[in-house]
Amino acid sequence: MTQNIHEQNHAKNKTGSVCPGPTTVRGKISIRNVTKNYDPDGANVLALDNCSIEIEAGEFCVIVGPSGCGKTTLLNAIAGFHGISSGEIYLDDELLCSSKKTAVPSADRIVVFQNGSLFPWYTVLENVVYGPDVQAKMSKSQARKAAEELLEQMGLRGILHSYPSEISSGMRRRVEIARAMINNPRVLLMDEPYRAMDALTKTVMHKHLLDIYDASCKTVFFITHDLEEAIFLGSKVYVMTTRPGKIKKLINVDIPRPRDFRTLSSEHYRELKLEAIEAVHEEAKKAFEAGERELA
Amino acid sequence: MQASGENSTKESVGKEEKLSSVELFFYRLKLWLKSSRPYLMVLGLALFLLFWYVTTEVLALPRFEKLPGPTVVLKEWLSRDPDYGISIYTPEYYQHIMKSVMRVLQAFGLATVLGVPLGLFMGWKKTFKDYSFPILETLRPIPMLAWVPLAILMWPSRESAIIYLTFLAAFFATTLNTLLGVESIDEAYFRAAQCLGSKPRHILFRVVLPGALPFIFTGLQISMGVAWFSLVAGEMLAGEYGLGYLIWNSFIMVQYPVIVIAMVTLGAIGWASSSIIRFVGSLLMKWKVREAGL
Amino acid sequence: MTKQKPSYFMGINLRKLRKTIFGKATYRGIVAIIGTIIFWEICSRLNVPVIGMIPPPSLVFNSLSELLRDPDYWESWVVSFQRVFTGFIVAQIIGIPIGLIMGINRHFRELSFPIIEILRPIPPLAWVPTAVIFWPTPEMSITFVTFLGAFFTMVLNILGGVKNVDIRYVRAAISLGSSKTDIFWRIILPATLPSLFTGMTVGMGITWEVVVAAEMIASRSGLGFMTWQSYVAGNYPVIVIGMISIGIAGYISSSFIRLLGGRLTPWLKII
């Protein structure tokens, strides 16, 4: 099993928004009527209210919404960090989680976290090699070689033996993506990964992510509060309401790939952005007035 | 105040030359010597010694005159034939030191070997903590010294009782700090490790242990200090050799300069042992050292 | 809104409190303690080597009922508490200002730091003979040794606290037109309060250690003396009672400090 990004998808599609070939590409997610209730400090909170989303295999799906609307809750349920109160989630037509069953976190749904979670006590190389190491699917030298190749492809060769604290946040995020991709996951779950970055770094990060997506055709489940980011990156953008979270609107972003900064000034992009702003702004105001705080 | 390294030049970190640790050491030394710090340090020490000297020997103020002055102590400490039998030239001095050091090593070693795994496990598995933490918290407020009579009853020999007391003090400090260390680990690291397919033993050795290491080493320093504290108390009450015993004995025998010699020796060894722990910590936690680097 | 408002009474979240008191953790804790007591009793009956030498719970409870009616027992409490609070307060009165000055004034800090670093590793009890020689009364020497124990901890904690004050707060204050006095009293002091209280809690623990030790070595009253005396007199179960009493007394003192600290730093409560 090779981990080279380019070889992870045999049927590369340069112009389509969804990678074809259900037989070669995995990662289809089906979220049906999911509701999540939870109880911090004795206050009953309804986080998600009857959400349903269908994500094709190899699709770049973005959830956008105001703070505290429950989008992270949805991601956590898919990842397996907690359960749901009702409804079901299917991965590749198998039941992933329901009210009776919580998903088990595993390497087929890897999360890239908001504040970064590269292990500070391991070097960049040791971090990337972590997955193959603990899963024992490759020998140590194979894993090392694959990691070095992957990092080289991403242009991160020089920092192999640096610690996360010694490199910039942009590099850290890219390393985290490498750490995920080397395991050939079915789904890449991204929890507002670029939230804390300045706009300039973000443009680099977006390009980087889109390159990886175009080459590997992984299913990406991306959460953000940034509209422009959502439309620029995603094929399908779901707008969520403020708590309790419901799906308010689905925006089909049919801008062809590969996309780059020129897309940002195209007419089509601006139309889509307008459509989304109207939907999100209302929710954002409600959330602001309710004094919503991000609940982890 | 708080300082964090600038990240703007980090993109080219692979191309910059890293200073070797020797070069770094001398560079820092040069900076230090240029500042006012070393001179104020010496001045501060000198003032203290002066104060001590003047009050005890020169002016012989009412209560101070009974205390031994620095010249008396120094003369005694450095003489080949000391009046009270303890100086750097007498073997007894080193015997007492070795006795205390051996006791602390045994107690501290045992406390670490038992305390760190216990703390790690308590932090990792909440169920285990629910059962064990209350017992620890009930026993912890009892001062070490209050255990002395009980320890004498429990253990067949005075020696084991003293080591037990020292062990107990160090054990609580180590376990608690290790526990705190594990609990301080960001949840995200656990989740990331789970996502990447870790089995429980991976989480224990690759997340819990390294994540708690900074706290563990702080705890070990504290526990070393506490160990010395308890040891001295135990030796003063119930020992036959050792620096604590020396202090109490010279007090009873009115050999006051020896008290000061023993106290200073204690201070020096205590400081040295903490420094060794700090040093070992910096070896094991390279990522912290580099994080705090220039 | 679908959020239920948590019910509060005197600033305590009732539902959360109820969950804590009746939760699984408390239940397991009680089970653990009862289990330990039973284990202790069994070891004693079976004469297990080390643990079996401890006076068993049965004897301890017997002695306890007698002791609770003995006024001397309660007298010991009062005496020990007096010593603890005297020494502790002296340590705070001297230690807090010195710590704060060291924190703010760099020159003073560099002047005094080496002496403090040299004197600190010397265990407080090692000072007892020196203190007894120097001070006229045994009470004063106990207070002095107690002071030493708590003083170093306090200074270290305050130093750490001042160092960790985020400089952005100071800068914000300056740009809002604060004078140096303002910055000290309104920014640095409150920001250091948490460390101060940590220092006080730890210092309280050390104070008890020292007072008990001093009572055992050099006094004829107090809980420490009572514990040592019962050993000498062969009244072993009272040793255990003495230990537990001291433990409880220490716990009460630390809790008091922690609560006080919590009241004075309301902004630290994380919801």
How far is A150 from A275, CA to CA, in rounded Å? 38
Each residue's pLDDT tens digit, C202-232: 888 888 888 888 888 777 888 989 988 898 8
Q: Read off the pLDDT of residues C17-41 as tens digits, 9 standing for 90 and up.
A: 666 667 777 888 888 889 998 998 8
Q: Hunting for tokens 């002055």 — which residue is that?
A: B69
For the purposes of burial, counting CB atoms within 10 Å of the CB of C266, is it exposed (0-12), middle (13-18) or buried (19 or more)?
A: exposed
Q: Choosing among A35, A36, A37, A41, which should be mutated to test the C contact, i.e. which has the most C CBs within 10 A?
A: A41
CB nearest C29 (choices: B134, B147, B247):
B134
pLDDT range class, residue C3, cuts 50, 70, 90: very low
Tens-place pLDDT, residues A252-286: 988 888 888 888 888 888 888 888 888 878 777 87
Residues of A in contact with C7 (CB under 8 A): 42
How confident is the model over B206-239, as pLDDT tens digits? Answer: 999 999 998 899 899 989 988 998 888 888 877 7
For the cut 60, the answer to whether the pLDDT of residue A19 exceeds it is no
Closest partner residue to C19 (CB to CB) among A42, A243, A290 is A42
φ/ψ (deg, to 5) at A84 = -125, 160
In tens, the pLDDT along B118-152 reads 999 999 998 899 889 888 888 888 888 888 888 88
Tell which wins on pLDDT, A148 or B42: A148
Q: Any chain A CB within 8 A of the CB of C107?
A: no
Domain C64-268 has CATH 1.10.3720.10: yes
Chains in contact with A, where contact requires at least 3 CB pairs less than 8 Å apart: B, C
Number of residue pairs across A and B with CB atoms under 8 Å? 92
Average pLDDT over residues A30-49: 82
Residue of B nearest to C242 (CA): B146
Using the Cβ of A196 and the Cβ atoms of chain B, whether some distance falls under 8 Å is answered with: no
* Interface predicted TM-score (ipTM): 0.83
Checking if the pLDDT of A2 tops 60, the result is no
- H or E element in which residue C13 lies: strand C12-13
How much is the pLDDT for B192?
94
Instruction: For residue C2, give the nearest of A41, A42, A46 by CB distance.
Output: A46
- Sign of the torsion formed by the C-alpha atoms of B100, B101, B106 and B112: positive
Q: Cβ of B143 and C246 within 8 Å?
A: yes
Backbone angles phi, psi at A37, to 5 degrees: -110, 135
Contact B13 A111 (CB under 8 A): no
Residue B47 CB coordination number (10 Å): 13
Q: CB-based contact (8 Å) between B3 and chain A?
A: no
**Tens digits of residue pLDDT in C97-147:** 988 888 888 888 888 888 888 888 888 888 888 888 888 888 888 888 888
Mean per-residue pLDDT, A108-136? 91
Cross-chain Cβ contact A134/B197 below 8 Å: yes
Q: Which residue has the higher pLDDT, C220 or C10?
A: C220
Predicted TM-score of the model (pTM): 0.80
Please report the pLDDT score of residue C2 as a whole number. Answer: 42
CB contact (8 A) between residue B195 and residue A111: yes
Residue B59 has pLDDT above 90, yes or no: no
Q: Hey, is the C-beta of C74 within 8 angstroms of any chain B C-beta?
A: no
Determine, for residues B1 and C228 on separate chains, whether the beta-carbon distance falls below 8 Å: no
Least confident of A164-178, B60-74, B100-114: B60-74
Q: Chain C residue with minimal CA distance to B145?
A: C213
Residue in chain C closest to B244 (alpha carbons) equals: C126
d(CA A112, CA A118): 9
pLDDT digits (tens, 9 = 90+) for B76-107: 888 877 777 777 888 888 888 999 999 999 99
Most A CBs within 10 A among C1, C2, C269, hence the mutation to make, goes to: C2
Domain-wise residue ranges, chain B: 20-67, 69-291
More confident residue, B1 or C184: C184
For A78-102, the pLDDT digits (tens) are 999 988 988 999 999 889 998 888 8
Q: Pick the residue from chain A with its C-alpha nearest to C19.
A: A42
CB–CB contact A44 C2 (8 Å): yes
pLDDT at A187: 93
Residue A12 has pLDDT above 50, yes or no: no
Does B199 touch chain A if contact means CB atoms closer than 8 Å? yes
Please give the residue that has the higher pLDDT: either A228 or B239. Answer: A228
Please write the tens of the pLDDT for every residue from C52-95: 888 888 888 888 888 888 888 999 999 999 989 888 998 889 98
- Residue A147: pLDDT band with limits 50, 70, 90: very high
**What was the pLDDT predicted at C191?**
87
CATH superfamily ID and name for B69-291: MetI-like (1.10.3720.10)
pLDDT at site A21: 41
Our CA-based measurement puts residue A292 at a distance from the nearest CA of chain C, in whole angstroms, of: 12
Predicted pLDDT of residue C255: 85
Chains that touch B (3 or more CB pairs under 8 A): A, C
Secondary structure (H, E, C), chain A: CCCCHHHHCCCCCCCCCCCCCCCCCCCCEEEEEEEEEECHHHCCEEEEEEEEEEECCCCEEEEECCCCCCHHHHHHHHHCCCCCCEEEEEECCEEEEECCCCCCCCCCEEEECCCCCCCCCCCHHHHHHHHHHHHCCCCHHHHHHHHHHHHHHCCCHHHCCCCHHHCCHHHHHHHHHHHHHCCCCCEEEEECCCCCCCHHHHHHHHHHHHHHHHHHCCEEEEEECCHHHHHHHCCEEEEECCCCECEEEEEECCCCCCCCHHHHHCHHHHHHHHHHHHHHHHHHHHHHHCCCCCCC
Q: Between residues B68 and B199, which one has the greater pLDDT?
A: B199
Q: What is the pLDDT of residue A16?
A: 37
Helix (H, G, I), strand (E, B) or coil at C9: strand
Of the ranges A6-20, A28-42, C79-93, the best mean pLDDT one: C79-93
What rounded mean pLDDT belongs to chain C?
A: 84
Looking at the partner chain, which of A41, A42, A244 has a beta carbon nearest the beta carbon of C2?
A: A244
| Top-confidence residue, B233 or B4 | B233
- Closest approach of A71 to chain C, Cα-based (Å): 17
Give residue A18's pLDDT.
43
Cβ contacts of B193 on chain A, cutoff 8 Å = 119, 130, 134
The answer to whether C188 faces chain B, any CB pair under 8 Å, is: no
Residues contacting B209, CB < 8 A, separation 6+: B120
Nearest CA in chain C to A242: C1
Q: In the prediction, which pLDDT does A181 show? A: 92
- Residue B225 near residue B235, CB atoms below 8 Å: no
Question: Does residue B243 contact residue B94 with C-beta atoms inside 8 Å?
Answer: no
Report strand pairing: A86-91 vs A247-252.
unpaired
Q: Do A42 and C15 touch (CB under 8 A)?
A: yes
The closest CB to that of B131, out of C28, C126, C228, belongs to C28
What's the average model confidence in pLDDT over C1-9?
Answer: 51
With CB atoms and an 8 Å threshold, state whether A45 touches C2. Answer: yes
Domain residue ranges of chain C, discontinuous segments joined by +: 8-54, 64-268
C16 touches chain A (CB under 8 A): yes
Asked if the Cβ–Cβ distance from A134 to B7 is below 8 Å, we say no
- Span B11-21, pLDDT tens digits: 444 444 556 66
Do A42 and C3 count as a contact with CB atoms less than 8 A apart?
Answer: no
Supply the pLDDT for residue A1: 38
